[in-house]
Amino acid sequence: MNASAPSLLTFLDAPIVVGDPQGCVTYVNPAFEALFAWSAEEALGRPLAALFEGGTREGVLGAVAEVCSKGETVRFRFRYEGRGFIAVASPIQAGGQRIGVVILLTASAAEDERCLSLHRDLDDPMAELNRSLDELLEATGGRRSARYRSMVEDGLRALERVKKTNAALRAVLSGAPESKESEAVRLDALQVLEDASARVREKYAVAAVDLEVLIPGQLPPVQGDPERLLKALVRLLDNRLQSVRSGDSVILAARATGRGDATSVVVTIVDSNGPNNTGDAQPLEDTTVADLVRSLGGDLRTTHDTFVGTTTAIRLRAAESAEAVR
């Protein structure tokens, strides 16, 4: 940043903070000092994220890292003392080199805040609808009638369109460019399942617990990061191993369900903690697994049955592909 730039930023009403490539503060304008109660003397040299608290700190860390590594503008939202803000982090370049990052903060309109609140309110009922339709498919359409199956799958397909629209709404409200479907990361669910079972196979053998893997010859590609899915499955299998006894069995299975936009892959882990196992141990609750599954855009559900045992199901949205199951 040249020497005249800070003097120009001084006259802006919007709070501005500038950082170097290491993410340390090199300048804050008077508007930033007044709003966040940081004097320039106190702020200079500190990590940019240190000027913020809670979830905002994580947002700043991620934005600065992305700007410095990719040289692209990043937008994110946060709240401070009951007010909503939109932060725009942009690279500072000189001589073809990225020499820092500038973050401009603007107050978001009350209407935008209300729209974001409505967007968040839609997440829970959509997830509940997804679970209910999936259960209905298994209880009726999937086993008894092709007619009912078609009706339920139509409902799942419509729900998927609602999810896409809701995601696009958030992109618009946050000021971020809407992600393109073609750019979505895809993972090979079969490969991840095989890797997960290989990771825990020796532990299961030592514990004398049978691990049975039931997977089809092929599955549609799934959206998401393979490392996150692998970590989630390994943690689930490790946790399940702690809740069963020697001689029990654990089943790792997968299947594709739905058609078209509603196609998804369901991964299940089932133990034999049924009538022949008088132990009352339950699989450990693991918020890390739940967070990993949510980060993949999936749903996780665990049920306990006296005769079947404990079943954990992960539903993952299939990527758009000509290979998707119809």
What length is written for the chain?
326
Alpha helices in the chain (DSSP H): 5-10, 30-36, 40-43, 54-70, 110-136, 146-174, 189-206, 226-243, 287-295
Contact partners, residue 313, CB within 8 Å, separation at least 6: 266, 267, 268, 300, 301, 302, 303
Residue given tokens 């200079």 in the structure block:
44
In this prediction, residue 267 carries a pLDDT of 92
Please name the CATH architecture into which domain 5-107 falls.
Answer: 2-Layer Sandwich (3.30)
Instruction: State in Å, rounded, how far the first CA of the chain is from the last one.
Output: 55
- Rounded to whole angstroms, how far apart are CA atoms 105 and 103? 7
- Rounded to whole angstroms, how far apart are CA atoms 284 and 63? 34
Contact partners, residue 136, CB within 8 Å, separation at least 6: 152
The domain made up of 184-317 has a fold known as: Heat Shock Protein 90 (3.30.565)
pLDDT by position in tens, the chain (length 326): 444 445 666 777 788 999 988 889 999 999 898 888 888 899 999 988 888 877 778 878 888 888 877 888 888 877 777 677 888 888 888 777 778 889 988 876 555 556 666 666 777 787 788 777 777 766 665 545 666 666 776 777 677 777 777 777 666 655 554 454 434 467 888 889 999 999 999 999 999 999 999 988 888 888 888 888 888 999 999 988 888 888 889 999 999 887 776 788 999 998 865 444 444 444 445 677 887 888 788 888 888 777 667 888 999 888 754 343 33
- Rounded to whole angstroms, how far apart are CA atoms 220 and 259? 11
- Rounded to whole angstroms, how far apart are CA atoms 38 and 173? 29
Tokens, residue 2? 């040249």
Nearest to 255 by CA among 128, 144, 137: 137
